[in-house]
Amino acid sequence: MRKYLLATCVSAVALCGAGFAYADDEQATLQKDPKQFTTQRGNYAATAYSELNQINASNVAKIAPAWTFSTGVLRGHEGAPLVIGDVMYVHTPFPNIVYALDLNDDGKILWKYEPKQDPNVIPVMCCDTVNRGLAYGDGKVFLHQADTTLVALDAKTGQVAWSQKDGDPSKGQTGTDAPFIFKDKVFIGVSGGEFGVRSWVSAYNVKDGKLAWRGFSMGPDSDTLIDPTATTALGKPVGADSSTKTWQGDQWKIGGGATWGWYAFDPALNLMYYGSGNPSTWNPKQRPGDNKWSMTVWARDVDTGKAKWVYQMTPHDEWDYDGVNEMILTDQKIGGADRKLLTHFDRNGFGYTLDRASGELLVAEKFDPAVNWATGVNMDKNSADYGKPIRVKAMSTEAGGEDENTQGICPAALGSKDEQPAAYSPQTELFYVPTNHVCMDYEPFKVSYTAGQPYVGATLAMYPPKGDKNMGNFIAWDGKTGKIVWSNPEQFSAWGGALATAGGVVFYGTLEGYLKAVDAKTGKELYKFKTPSGIIGNVMTYEHAGRQYVGILSGVGGWAGIGLAAGLTKPNDGLGAVGGYAALSNYTALGGQLTVFALPNN
Amino acid sequence: MGRQGGNVRIAAASLAVVLSLSWGLPAFADPPGNPAAVKQDEDGYWRDKNGDPTYKIAPEGTVDFATYAGFRRYHSDCHVCHGPDGMGSTYAPALADSLKTIDYTTFAGIVVNGRKDLINGNDKVMPTFAENKNVTCFLNDIYIYLRARSQDAVPRGRPAKHEPKPATYDANETKCLAGD
């Protein structure tokens, strides 16, 4: 406990003396201590990079499980546990239990919080009852529940400090994303892009739970918090009604643009960064227009929510390429000049590098060569189509038409990468990206909207690209040039989040359940261990009593648990197609376990 | 129960059987019976000898329109939990198996009423689809498709060839989706 208080008082002495009321600088200070793991993705920049190097490329082959913990829940386990001082905080899928484990006593349970939620929220969660993790700040642990409640728990006792209901599951609104604390606010988004939910990001005061602001993904400027003259897209002001005039009639009211991904923050610019998801429905014919601001990278002022800049990656989406994936902030040199960058690996298969201050687009290249719905992104600043994808007509599901099956589109709707987050190492200046390598046939058709019911309107079949057997790759990417540096094939989509360390090692988990360690420079596999169930969570690391530990949640599920459980079929092999690609269910079953690895005690 | 030893054992055994049936299936599930298509109704749906919806697949594999429509509608609203091609997922059963043993009435009842299996650590909840026209307007089609899958009459994947849409189908579809 003493160690724990010390950590929060390391910042400006004056603040400490005054009783240190705000989480203002606290998270920034906590993140500097590599022994702790105090926020999802490790730090504000979302690099998932740890300075710990006790485990390194020459000894990682010797690591082994040191201790384990069963969560008591058997569904898809996303996100990562946190370590603050000597306590580890573990979260679970629905019913969203929170455990505080004592690292001084082999993970003894200090307290457990289990919210009472109406199980009728379960069927309104399109893609398993996942939860992407907790946040910590101001002596409180924050949980975003499936029923959209945001609850702040006293970190020492698990007692509820405050609780806020953010949305309404009867309208298809649910909670899956992890809260993030930036300065004195805690931020959450909402899920429901498959239910016609017009989505938002909410900012609540860490101290008292009051709502500070809420910014919607589409609607009038007063809802989206866009300033027609000050908010820019690729350097130009977006103008009035930039969202609503890209929708037909009132469709923006059930527009989607869900916000369930990972958020990042630049304290110097005072901007938070995140992406918005697909427009509703999946049938593009039913929603003409560019559908702004779905599929968009957002930069918002943390205090007011006002949008500084936006960039829409996939206007008038025809494939469900949600833009919610993580935004990783780095400072690198491009063309000899120091730049403040934002790198984003989108569902649509393009790796984007932008200037995070101005929103200028610097690089947009495919991070899977199989991507074929667009040939590239227009990088000509003078073109009217600057920044837009150069679409391939044959892969347009709208051109294919309603009730027609458009075939061989790559990537499939689950994208070249779904929510599983990448990591970045400043040592190598490389991004480490878990990817999917799957294509699809997609057939849109007419659907009607009912609140709280799925509003999808398309059916799809998925399979690996022609000639390939692997359904995933784990790659190293140079964001300055937009090039794949090395690529390790994986039998299944690489659905776990990566971690990079100063020891020159990169960790990730596989869908069959392997925790793998690879050399950060070459990609050579150095270690693997099969955990009790498939991995869709993110690797984390911490140090306790002089030993470095690497922790990972196992528990297969998520969208991978639906689409890949039974295996994929060969595309249109004629009638009676026999066999198909490996079924995930041949390799793993449901689980819910934390495995923590370390070098053996000599 | 206050009975003699032997009777108690039998009573307990039948209680156990009823309980185990009700875990996975409604208590009075009937198997669907012979799926052979006997006649076509005025809406274009094929019926078996009991009058329940069924599939009709030509020897070279061309499926009737309802089977094809069922493939699409299943993959729009059901596959998100029940997996592609009725194969199940990590959290909902394989309907390609379930339809071997439950009949049309039972199927319709489950879709309309929903189901709850709250088993600690793995809660499964199926919502009611009664208000969802994208399902209720196509209940027959979805049943027909899954029935064909359960009998291996159609393989996995999108049916490669199908009969054209029957004349009345389009009008019925539009009317149902728009209707009260």
Quick one: pLDDT at residue A240? 97
Domain count for chain A, please give it.
1
What's the pLDDT score for residue A570? Answer: 63
Return the amino acid letter for B128.
T
Domain hosting A253: range is 2-598
Residue B173's pLDDT band (cuts 50, 70, 90): confident
**Cβ-based contacts of B76 with chain A (< 8 Å):** 445, 447, 454, 456-459
Q: State whether B88 and A565 contact (CB < 8 Å).
A: yes
What CATH number is attached to the domain comprising A201?
A: 2.140.10.10
**Residue pointed to by tokens 């360690």:** A517
Mutation target among A77, A97, A120, A122 for the B interface, most CBs of B within 10 A = A122
| pLDDT value for A456 | 66
Say whether A561 and B157 touch across the interface (CB within 8 A). Answer: no
A6-32, pLDDT tens digit by residue?
333 333 333 333 333 344 579 999 999
* Reported pTM: 0.89
CA-wise closest residue to B54 among B119, B146, B122, B129: B146
**What pLDDT, on the 0 to 100 scale, is given for residue A569?**
66
pLDDT band per the 50, 70, 90 thresholds, residue A454? low
**Which chain B residues are within 8 Å of A577, Cβ to Cβ?**
155-157
Model confidence at B178, pLDDT cuts 50, 70, 90, reads confident
Q: For chain A, what is the mean pLDDT?
A: 91
B113 contacts on A by Cβ (under 8 Å): none
Tell me how crowded residue A408 is: count the other CB atoms within 10 A of its CB. Answer: 16
- d(CA A89, CA A107) in angstroms, rounded, equals 10
Domain boundaries, chain B: 1-30, 33-178
Distance between CA atoms of residues A597 and A509, nearest Å? 13
Indicate the range of A433-447, A498-512, B125-139 predicted with least confidence: A433-447
B6 pLDDT higher than 80: no
Question: What residues of chain A lie within 8 A of the CB of B71, using their CB?
Answer: 459
Please give the Cα distance from A163 to A175 (Å, whole number).
Answer: 14
Band the pLDDT of B119: cuts 50, 70, 90.
Answer: confident
As beta bridge partners, residue A337 has A334
Is residue A37 within 8 Å of A486, Cβ to Cβ? no
Could you say which of A122, A447, A462 has the minimum Cβ distance to residue B76? A447
Catalytic residue among A86, A128, A320, A519: A320
The sheet carrying A505-509 orders its strands as A49-50, A499-501, A505-509, A514-519, A525-530
Highest-pLDDT range among A193-207, A233-247, A559-573: A233-247
**How confident is the model at residue A128, as a pLDDT?**
84
Closest chain B C-alpha to A448 CA, distance in angstroms: 7
Residue pairs spanning A and B at CB distance below 8 A: 136
User: Could you give the CA distance from residue A542 to residue A38 in angstroms, rounded to a whole number?
Assistant: 10
Rounded CA-CA distance A128/A15 in Å is 43
Mention every residue, 6+ apart, whose C-beta is less than 8 A from residue B77: A454, A456, B129, B132, B134, B135
Mean pLDDT of B30-38: 88
Best probe of the A interface among B60, B74, B76, B152, by most A CBs < 10 A, is B76
The residue of chain A nearest to residue B165, with distances taken between CA atoms, is A403
- Name the closest residue on chain B to residue A121, using Cα atoms: B125
Least confident of A168-182, A338-352, A417-431, B13-27: B13-27
pLDDT at A581: 64
User: Which of the four pLDDT bands, split at 50, 70 and 90, describes residue A453?
Assistant: low
Q: Which of B74, B76, B161 sits opposite A457 (nearest CB)?
A: B76
Average pLDDT over residues A168-195: 94
**Chain A residue numbers touching B61 (CB-CB < 8 A):** 575-576
Quick one: pLDDT at residue A601? Answer: 87
Query: What is the length of chain A?
Result: 602
Is A73 in contact with B121 (Cβ distance < 8 A)? yes
When pLDDT is averaged across residues A127-139 and rounded to a whole number, the result is: 94
User: Which residues of chain B are within 8 Å of residue A567 when distances are taken between CB atoms?
Assistant: 87
Return the structure tokens found at B115.
């189901």
Per-residue three-class SS string for A460-505: EEEECCCCCCCCEEEEEEECCCCEEEEEEEECCCCCCECEEECCCE
- What average pLDDT does the structure give for chain B? 82
Sign of the torsion formed by the C-alpha atoms of A417, A420, A426 and A428? negative
Q: Closest-CA residue in chain A for B162? A: A575
Question: What is the C-alpha to C-alpha distance for residues A210 and A204, in angstroms, rounded to an integer?
Answer: 5
**Predicted pLDDT of residue B29:** 55
Fold of B33-178: Cytochrome Bc1 Complex; Chain D, domain 2 (1.10.760)
Sign of the C-alpha dihedral computed for residues A208, A212, A216 and A220 taken in this order? positive
Banded pLDDT at A367 (limits 50, 70, 90): very high
ipTM over 0.90: no
- Backbone dihedral region for residue A158 (phi beyond 0: left; psi -120 to 50: alpha; all else: beta): left
Cα gap A327→A352, rounded to integer Å = 10
Closest partner residue to A405 (CB to CB) among B118, B122, B158 is B158
Instruction: Report the pLDDT value the prediction gives residue A120, as an integer from 0 to 100.
Output: 86
Q: How far is A504 from chain B (nearest CA, A)?
A: 35
Q: Tell me, yes or no, if A320 is annotated catalytic.
A: yes
Q: Name A431's bridge partners.
A: A424, A477
The contacts of residue B176 (CB under 8 Å, 6+ apart) are: B133, B136, B137
Q: Nearest by CB to A572, which of B88, B126, B160?
A: B160
Shortest alpha-carbon distance between residue A320 and chain B (Å): 13
Residue of chain B whose Cα is closest to the Cα of A92: B121
pLDDT for A321 beyond 60: yes
